[in-house]
Amino acid sequence: MRPQLLCTFTYVDRLTVSIGQIYKAYSASDVSNMKVYSYVQTPNNVICVYNVSTSERRLKDTISINRKKDTNTFYSINALNSLIRVLNNGILDKSFAIEWSNYHNTLLLADGDFNCKMIEIKELSV
């Protein structure tokens, strides 16, 4: 099975507990490349982004996510589809080219109403 990139949402004061839960849920040997990012505008909000080799189980407040490495952009598929609709006059065209440099160090999330929420992030050293 190929690794899956997951994103767990938490808060600064719960970060240690959340990281412990991640390693317990997936076993330490299955978790790799753990990175922690805070929201620039609301630094108490934190995400843990990591790869797992097994994905039968999903923690609470965790989603599957994708990453554009060259711009450090994280996005869900729903957010990508919403972004395309926003940029393409409401039309979902999967061949639409995204200018990823506009989303450097950004977390893109869908808000459920075909809108895309863009959250600027910065990496924390843990």
What value does the mean pLDDT take over residues 6-31? Answer: 93
CB 5 within 8 A of CB 51: yes
| Angstrom distance (rounded) from CA 118 to CA 98 | 14
Per-residue pLDDT tens digits for 78-95: 999 999 999 999 899 989
66-68 and 116-124 beta bridge pairing: unpaired
Q: Which of 80, 55, 39 is nearest to 5 (CA)?
A: 55
Sequence-ordered list of residues with C-beta below 8 angstroms from that of 76, at least 6 positions apart, any chain: 63, 64, 65, 66, 108, 109, 110
- What is the pTM (predicted TM-score) of this model? 0.90
Per-residue pLDDT tens digits for 112-123: 777 889 999 999
pLDDT band of 29, cuts 50, 70, 90: confident
